[in-house]
Amino acid sequence: MTRFPRWAAALCAVVALAALAACTPQTALLASLIPDGTVSILASHLKGEEESNRKRVAELEARGDWDGLAKLAEENLAKDRNNADWWTVAGYAYSRAGRHQRASECYYEVVRLAPDDMTGWTMLAQSYRDAKQPLRAVQTLNNAHRVRPGTAETWFLLGESYSDLDRDLPAASAYREAVQKNSEFARAWFGLGRAYARLGRRAEFEQALKRLEPLNAPLAKELAELRPAPR
C-alpha cells in the first residue's frame, strides 16, 4: 500500500492552522483537529524528498505563492502519479488558492492511494465543505467509516457536515460519537449542544453545556446564548 508519511499528516495541520488564521466559519473548525504539539513547518517533514524540493516548498509556502506550490506539486506528480505526498501538497496549495474543486480532486487521489489513513478522508470532506458541497462531505465521511472505525475528528466533521444541511438529528448522533471517543473535545460538545438547541431538547442541551463549561468558557458562553426556550 502507498506510504502516507508523517510529513503529510503534518501538512494537514498546516492547512488547519492557515484556516484558523482566515477565521472563516467553514474552515476555522479544523484548528480543533490539530494534535497538541504539532510542528507546522512543512519543509522539515519532506525527508523523503530531494533537498531542492524541500527548499522550494518552504520558499513557496512562506511567500504564500499557492499557484507556484501547485505547479511544483503538479510537476512532481507528472513523474509519479501514485505519490500520495505530492497529491497532498497539491490539495493544500489549491485549497489555499481557493480552488476547492481541484483541491477535492487532489485529496480524492490521496484517499485512493492511502484509504486506511483518516487524514486524507478528513481533508477531502473539508474540501467539499469549503466548496459548499456538504452532502458530498457527508458521503465521504460515511464511506470513511466503512473503511475503518472513525476517530473523534471524523465524527465531529460529520456532525458539522450534517449541520450544514440543517439535519440536526444525525448531526447530534455524530457529535455524540465524537465526545464518546474524546470527552474533552470542546467543539464537539458545542456542536452537540447546538444541535440539541435546534431540536428544542432543553435537558440534553443543558447537559452538553455543563460538559463544555470547564473545557472552553468562551465557547460555553456562546452556546448558552442558543439555549432553547422552555416548552
Each residue's pLDDT tens digit in the chain (231 positions)? Answer: 444 444 444 444 444 434 333 434 333 444 444 333 322 334 444 556 677 777 888 888 888 899 999 999 999 999 999 988 888 889 989 988 999 999 999 999 999 998 888 888 998 999 999 999 999 999 999 999 998 888 999 999 999 999 999 999 999 999 999 999 999 999 999 999 999 999 999 999 999 999 999 999 999 999 999 999 877
Q: What structural domains does the chain harbor? A: 1-132 (1.25.40.10), 138-231 (1.25.40.10)
Own/partner pairs, 75-83, CB within 8 angstroms, 24+ separation:
82/2, 82/113, 83/2
Angle between the N-to-C axes of helices 100-113 and 84-96, in degrees from 0 to 180, rounded to the nearest 10: 160
Query: CA 225, CA 175: separation in Å to the nearest integer?
Result: 19
Q: Which residue has the cell 518552504?
A: 58
Distance set, CA 101 to CA 7, 53, 120, 130, 187 (Å) = 24, 25, 15, 9, 27
In this prediction the pTM is 0.76
Query: CA 43, CA 146: separation in Å to the nearest integer?
Result: 33
3-state secondary structure of 38: coil
Q: What is the mean pLDDT of the chain?
A: 82
Query: CA 211, CA 63: separation in Å to the nearest integer?
Result: 41
Query: Nearest CA to 114 among 137, 156, 138, 147?
Result: 147
pLDDT computed for residue 30 by the predictor: 46
pLDDT computed for residue 26 by the predictor: 37
In tens, the pLDDT along 52-84 reads 777 888 888 888 899 999 999 999 999 999 988
3-state secondary structure of 185: coil
Q: Answer for the pair 128, 136: CB distance below 8 angstroms, yes or no.
A: yes
